[in-house]
Structure formats: C-alpha cells, structure tokens
Amino acid sequence: MDTAHKTDEEKKEYFDSEEVLDQKITMLAEWIKASKHFIAFTGAGISTSAGIPDYRSGVNTVLPTGPGAWEKAAKGVKGKSTVKKPMSSAIPTPCHMSLVKLHEVGYLKYLISQNVDGLHRKSGIPAKKIAEVHGNTNLEVCRNSKCKKKYLRDFRVRTAKTVHDHKTGRMCENCGKELHDSIINFGENLPEEELNNGFNESAKSDLCLVLGSSLRVTPAANMPEETSDKGGRLVIVNLQATPLDSKAFRINGLIDDVMSKLMKKLGLDIPPFTLKRRVMVTKTDVNVKNPTKKGQVGIEVRGIDEEGSHYSLFNAVETTFSASKETMTQTKEPMRFHPTKLDLNSGKLLLNLVFAGHYNEPSLKIEVPLEVLKLNSPIHFFMEFNPQTKKWSFLQNS
C-alpha cells in the first residue's frame, strides 16, 4: 500500500527560529504545569534518533535515518542512513526518557503510541499507562476470550509469512490456545482495549502533546483531534505539516531538541536509559501440562514485567544446587528445574541468567537460600543494566 507523501509540499520540513522555538516551548511548559490531565501521542518521528527510520520523510530529510520506509518504497530510492539500528538493540531517545520522567513526577497521565518498536515499554512507561494502538513487536497475545493473557518477549515475536496471519507458533501457558503477534496491519481493526483507552484518555485530556506523528493513519490519528474537539489544547511537534495543524499549536523542530529544552524549562533532568529486569523465583508444585493439577515440586525461574506478567528475558538459565553440586540448564520456557538428589528446603540455589544480549549485557549470577522459598510463594529480584558501563546492579529484592 502506497502511503508515502506525494508532493514536495507534503514532504517539506519546517523549522522555527531559535527565538520563536524558545517562546513556544516556554508556553508549552506553562500549559503542562497548569494541566489537569496531560497526555502524549507519539509516532515514528520520536524513534529516528534511536536509529529506527520513519515512514514519510522525503529523500532530502535532515534526519540521519534518511528517507522514510514508504518514501523509499514508492520512489524506488535507497537514501542514506547513518544511524540505522535494529529495534531490539535501539536505545530509547531523550524524548522517550523525558516522557518517563514526566510520568514519574505526575505531569504525564497517559501515553498513546502508534509505534511498534517497543521502546516506550523498554524505557519504563508502565503497561497500564500506555495504549500501543498498532501493537508491539515484542508482545504476543492469547485471543481466547476467556483468557486474553499477554506475553512480553525480549525478541521479535512475529513469525508469519503473510500480512494477515498473526500466529507465532507458540502456545498460551495459561489455556493452551495458539498465541498471536500484536502487530496491526492495514485493513485490520485496532485492539478494542487500546482503542477504547486511547479515545477515552483523549476525550478527558485538557492537553495533548503530539510528537513525531504525521496524523494520517486513522483511527489512531483521530484521538488527538478528540482532545481538541472537547475543548482541550492540542500541541503538535513535527517537521512536516499534518491534517490537524489548523486545530493545533505547532512547534517546528527536532523532537529531542524540543523535549530537551522543555525539560529544562520544567526544571527536570532527563534520566539516562538503563535496562530494567525483574526475575521471579518460585518453589512450585504446579503441573506444567495441566495447571489445575498438582505436580512434582521444583524450582521455576521466570522473567516478569512491572505488573508481574510474563516477560521472556533469557536465552538460558543455569542452576546449581550447592548441597549436591547438581547443575541443570534450561533454554525453553517454562524454565523449571527438578533436582534428583536433594531436599529443596536447605542449601543454596545458584542461578546463572543468560540474557538475550541485545545491549551486550553479560550473564548475571544470583544466589538464593532455599530455606527462604515457600511453596508457591515467589520471591522477586529487581535489577538494572547500564549500557554505558556494561554493569548490572540490584535495585531491590522481595
């Protein structure tokens, strides 16, 4: 489907002077401070500085990622990209991290994103505070109406060869039904929960900040308009013109520049990105094949997100039981270990966690006294990895 801009005017990029830009950002900062329900709406433009190309930038764009994907497809041009990165190893941008901080201090109440790159979730925006209306390349879902379990993965979940086939080949651990990727392609309906949340949050918002979206793909693009139509302020930061400019306060500049200046005017620092990981260790007797029945007691190691939902993080988990020196390794979920020579109530469990390594993170060793593990009562480890120092640190255990 050819959705590239057709005319030079549509591809034209606009820039405010430094003086005008400063005045506009000052006004935006005051509006944010006064807002009761501030939301943001993001598009592909916020991820270009992370090395992920957008869709509609023209051949002569100032962006280092070069022409957008649809521009290249429509015009048969290659263009130059000096910073292109795979989504799995892209680092959230200053814009992403600014939004995290705005949420942490209470200004930003909700985030709606058209992006599928998963950088918002990775940056630290909680799942319950974001509607990823076009899906997430790392998220697969169970479509069983009685289950609807979601699984976040540290890898690209889509495996289908045809556009409208979304089966991933994996099965739901909860109900046993087939899992599907969450990507929304043209001609497909948006997921009901994200669609409803997006419109509901937009309707009650008194300030919607659009960042890096052309606002041309509906129905998602109708959400910011809902804020304007309900009497709220609509602010658009984008290089190219959008269909909603007549209803909005336009700021013309590079996204990271605008957000960096905005944060200074708000007196807030932009936090550096760190890769946060949560690990759950459980002594369990749940039957893997039939969760409704009891099974052999063993140790389960699982990655989780901030809400406790499944998050596949490991290429492998190696366990060593200190009392017997028995070592076991699992490379597939559920990562469950049943030692043959030992009582699970004494000694130590030594874990070696081998992560996916998208940021060259090394494996991490954790020591767990077996006596603290109570049956079916998990303990949690919360740690973070600094991509700059290449070191892990523990934040808390519980």
* pLDDT at residue 105 tops 90: yes
Q: Output b/e per residue, 221-249; b: 16+ Cβ within 10 A.
A: bebbbbbbeeebbbbbbbbbbbebeeebb
Confidence tier at 57 by pLDDT (50, 70, 90): very low
Percent with pLDDT over 70 in the chain: 87
Which two structure tokens, joined as six digits, stand for 182?
């969450």
Could you please state the CATH topology (level 3) that the domain comprising 8-137+183-265 is classified under.
Rossmann fold (3.40.50)
Omega into 94 within 30° of 0, i.e. cis? no
State mean pLDDT over 234-251.
96
Question: Scanning the structure block, which residue is given the tokens 């499944």?
Answer: 310
DSSP code string of 187-253: TSPPPHHHHHHHHHHHHH-SEEEEES----STTTTHHHHHHHHTT-EEEEE-SS--TTGGGSEEE-S
Least confident interval from 106-110, 345-349, 358-362, 382-386: 345-349
Under 8 Å between Cβ of 180 and 141 = yes
Count of CA atoms in the C-beta half-sphere (13 A) of 102 = 29
First to last CA, the chain: 50
Omega into 334 within 30° of 0, i.e. cis? yes
Question: Scanning the structure block, which residue is given the tokens 């100032």?
Answer: 62
The SS3 of residue 285 is: strand
Say if residue 345 is exposed, middle or buried (CB neighbours under 10 Å; 0-12, 13-18, 19+).
Answer: exposed
What pLDDT shows up at residue 6?
A: 58
Alpha-carbon distance values, 253 to 43, 239, 296 (Å): 15, 6, 60
Least confident interval from 39-43, 100-104, 146-150: 146-150
CATH architecture for segment(s) 275-397: Sandwich (2.60)
Give the predicted TM-score (pTM) of the model: 0.90
* pLDDT at residue 137 tops 70: yes
What pLDDT shows up at residue 136?
A: 96
What pLDDT shows up at residue 5?
A: 54
Beta strands in 34-182 (DSSP E): 38-42, 108-113, 130-132, 139-142, 150-153, 167-171, 178-181
* pLDDT at residue 62 tops 60: no
* pLDDT at residue 71 tops 90: no
Percent with pLDDT over 90 in the chain: 73
Which residues contact residue 214 at a Cβ distance below 8 angstroms, ignoring those fewer than 6 apart? Answer: 43, 55, 56, 221, 238, 240, 242
State mean pLDDT over 268-272.
98
* pLDDT at residue 316 tops 60: yes
State mean pLDDT over 109-136.
96
Which two structure tokens, joined as six digits, stand for 125?
């925006």
What pLDDT shows up at residue 312?
A: 96
Which residues contact residue 265 at a Cβ distance below 8 angstroms, ignoring those fewer than 6 apart? Answer: 25, 26, 29
Confidence tier at 70 by pLDDT (50, 70, 90): very low
DSSP secondary structure letter of residue 260? H
Backbone angles phi, psi at 192, to 5 degrees: -60, -45
Q: Do domains 8-137+183-265 and 275-397 have the same CATH topology?
A: no
* pLDDT at residue 235 tops 70: yes
What pLDDT shows up at residue 323?
A: 85
Confidence tier at 2 by pLDDT (50, 70, 90): very low
State mean pLDDT over 237-259.
96
What pLDDT shows up at residue 63?
A: 55
Say how far apart CA 274 and CA 314 lie, in whole Å: 18
State mean pLDDT over 65-86.
55
What pLDDT shows up at residue 1?
A: 43
Give the start-to-end residue ranges of the domains of the chain. Answer: 8-137+183-265, 275-397
The SS3 of residue 114 is: coil
Q: How far is CA 233 from the centre of its chain?
A: 26
What pLDDT shows up at residue 77?
A: 55
Of the candidates 47, 57, 41, 55, the one whose C-alpha atom is nearest the C-alpha of residue 222 is 41
Which positions are annotated as active-site residues? Answer: 134
What pLDDT shows up at residue 11?
A: 74
Q: Angle formed by the axes of helices 255-265 and 18-34, to 10°?
A: 60
Whole-number average pLDDT of the chain: 89
What pLDDT shows up at residue 248?
A: 98
Helix, strand, coil share of the chain (percent; to 5): 25, 30, 45
What pLDDT shows up at residue 123?
A: 97
